[in-house]
Structure 1
Amino acid sequence: MTRIVFVHGIAQEVKGPETLLADWYPALSDGLALAGDTHVARDEVSMAFYGDLFRPVGHRGLGPPELDASDVRDGLERELLLQWWESASEQETCVAGLGASARLRTPHLVQRALDALSHSSFFAGLSERMMISSARQVRRYFTEPDVRTGIQDRIARRVTRETEVIVAHSLGTVAAYEALHALPGCPDLTLVTLGSPLAVRNLIFERLIPRPVNGHARWPAPVKRWTNIADRGDVVALAKELASLFGERVRDLPIHNGAKAHDVRPYLTARETGQAVAEALCLGAADQN
């Protein structure tokens, strides 16, 4: 019985559902413990895994193909990297700011962005290839219909009549939001979004399906409760609050995740996340009685 469906974010292409659940399930269990005495069994959670859709095909060289600044495409990939750079420089003193860099051309500007992001807490230790790949996954989601529908199909297949909560992180919040619009007949659900980029204007928000109208997004019909949780230092969740664009019913909660602001594990261990999930499970149990 799947009561909770997890939806992961970017850069998970070499993992799998069980590998991710080994981190996500105990982390959420800790968050639930902080919030009260709610317990969820391991067989009551499921991971909507789609990382393999981004996994590069094999080739004759060693390791994955290398990427550098010259491979970054103009448009969404470039603008995401620049926005992440700007956000990181505002949050962390060790990350150099843009300054007059906006006048530089790609790949020079992109190279400066990659160099600066390598000093941020979120991207520290990641290669240029991984940073570019992260932006590329977002771009591919929005520009390649087969990828978009494939990811949403993975989510839809995990949601059952017993599902009470969807917990989504990062790009997974975008995919979950869109997938829920295609599931009007599923039971009342609680949506918990963690580190979501859904409200990022000019990059994410305007590309959503269904399209926002007059600056307001459509509420997904199956969702009865929506809690959005964001760390103020989360570089990926550039716009921390969703209520102004998605409706006043969204409950926006700020938390502090420490050095790894976008990491899903501190999001899941937070009392606020545990409380949001516990409330949904309690409501679901009450409805059954």
Structure 2
Amino acid sequence: MARVVLVHGIAQQYEGPESLGLTLGAALRDGVQLAAKLTLEPAEVACAFYGNAFIEEGTRADDLPPWDAKHVQMGLEAELLDAWFQRAAELEPSIPPLDEEGTRNLKAAATSRALQVEWVRARLNGLAKAEFFQGVAKRFLVGELKQVTRYLDEPPTWQAARAAVAEQIGADTRVIVAHSLGSVVAYEALCENPDWPVTDLVTVGSPLGLPLIFQRLSPLPSDGLGAWPEGVLRWTNVADRGDIVALVESLGPLFAPGPHGPVEDKTITNGVKMHDFARYLTAPKTGTAIATGLQQPPA
């Protein structure tokens, strides 16, 4: 089995484990080689694929409904949309300020369906102008909101995602590198399986610190701190400061410390592709964290 397992994020239903593995595996091997002069063979890297957990059997992404503002549900979907919008507005001056109606708070919008749609539409229109979401159609953006909600709220979905990670873990697996929603999947899978031989967790572009996700983690945080995944020796978190998904870029203060100290937070710059998994993987700080896990003796 692989020494390193990659866990992708949302919106990968177009892909498959082999196609993703070719692209992301090459980026990871480049990053480790450039950062630490460590050469990995393709067979030493595997991709845990769970994109198919979000589609019905026998369908593909072309079956995505024509979602728009009226399909965003109040609650987690609306809260996540608002969090993305507020962060994008902080980072990108290209996003115009909302007018008086657009700034209506979520509690007020919840009083009528018409106000809800107006509230959602204002934020979708704003995000459509963000460089971060450039080229992403609104229906796909709504689809991304729904994938996060489904993972957090639907047992069959999170069970399938965590099972996809488990399938790739073998006696030689030492490092898990997880991106975006995949960092939530990997974290929860590790917490469920303290007997895994994984010694190092590397999260990139992670939403784990976002309160609406942090407060729903399994296991639930205790006394304001998330659990450290038992069995993991080191946890490195890498974030681009322009990455809207990694809203809270420092995870160290949010999780209990591990055997070698708290989560080690690092910041990088991915250029115009702030959230791109491949760019995170080729970053020297990410490559160094992966190489550290591979070069240290097992626990």
Structure 2 length normalisation: TM-score? 0.90
Of the three residues 122, 141, 145, the one matched with 1:131 is 141
Give, in angstroms, the shift of residue 55 of structure 1.
2.0
Q: Distance in 2 between matches of 1:157 and 1:56?
A: 21
Which amino acid in structure 2 is aligned with residue 273 of structure 1?
T
Aligned position for 1:107: 117
Of the three residues 223, 245, 251, the one matched with 1:236 is 245
Unaligned runs of 5+ in 2: 110-114
Greater CA deviation, 251-260 or 117-126?
117-126
Distance 1:98 1:174, change over 3 A: farther
Q: How many residues align?
A: 283
Q: Distance in 2 between matches of 1:152 and 1:46?
A: 15
Percentage identity across paired residues of the two chains:
44
- Alignment of structure 1 residues 157-236 onto 2, 5 Å: 157-201=167-211, 203-236=212-245
Q: Distance in 1 between matches of 2:286 and 2:171?
A: 23
Q: Is the 8 A contact 1:14 1:55 kept in 2?
A: no
- Alignment of structure 1 residues 29-68 onto 2, 5 Å: 29-56=29-56, 63-68=63-68
* Cα deviations by residue, 1:177-234 (Å, 9 ceiling, x for unpaired): 0000111111242000001100111x10010011101110111102110000000011
Q: Distance in 2 between matches of 1:58 and 1:184?
A: 35
Whether 1:281 and 2:287 are equivalent positions in the alignment is no
Aligned position for 1:148: 158
Distance 1:98 1:235, change over 3 A: farther
Whether 1:90 and 2:94 are equivalent positions in the alignment is no
1:252 partner SS:
strand
Unaligned runs of 5+ in 1: none
Whether 1:266 and 2:279 are equivalent positions in the alignment is yes
Q: Is the 8 A contact 1:2 1:163 kept in 2?
A: yes
2:287 partner SS:
helix
Aligned-residue CA RMSD (Å): 1.7
1:223 partner SS:
coil
Structure 1 length normalisation: TM-score? 0.93
Q: Is the 8 A contact 2:25 2:46 kept in 1?
A: no
Q: Distance in 2 between matches of 1:107 and 1:69?
A: 6
Give, in angstroms, the shift of residue 56 of structure 1.
4.6
